[in-house]
Amino acid sequence: MGQLLKHGLLDGVSLITPQGKCIYSKGCLTDVAETAWRQFTDVFRYATPKHDEEMCQRGFQLPQGDKPPLQFKVFKKTFCSMYATSESKREGLIACSLPYGTLICVFSSVRHPANAVIVHVENFCDSLRA
């Protein structure tokens, strides 16, 4: 997991179990409350158009310490990945389904193009799924 942060493309990574428990966290995601991770447990569990539409409408929130939480809106979801952007479009969030959990990554879309970050994370996840 540390390999993901090594290249400087990501600001934080976390790995959560299917029950929503964070078992690994680095970077800016280390202080996220345990309860915040539960919102990601159903992202890949249900694969119906209705569920995906509701999730896209609802989005996700990540606390930022003393600041208001970041609100993310989903702009694309596949069978094993989900991509979201903050309302200001300055931060991005990637969630990837792995065999025993979900990888959550956040990045600054101001510093790095989203496409480069997505390719980096997807290549890492593909190597874990192989």
Start-to-end Cα distance in the chain: 16
Chain segment 18-76, per-residue pLDDT in tens:
999 999 999 999 989 888 999 998 888 877 788 888 887 889 999 877 888 899 999 99
Q: Which pTM does this prediction carry?
A: 0.91
Per domain, the residue ranges of the chain are 11-129
Distance CA 16, CA 20 (A): 6
At residue 2, the pLDDT reads: 66
pLDDT level of residue 94 (50, 70, 90 thresholds): very high
How far, in whole angstroms, is CA 82 from its chain's centroid?
7
- What fold characterizes domain 11-129? Beta-Lactamase (3.30.450)
Q: Which of 118, 112, 110, 37 is nearest to 77 (CA)?
A: 118
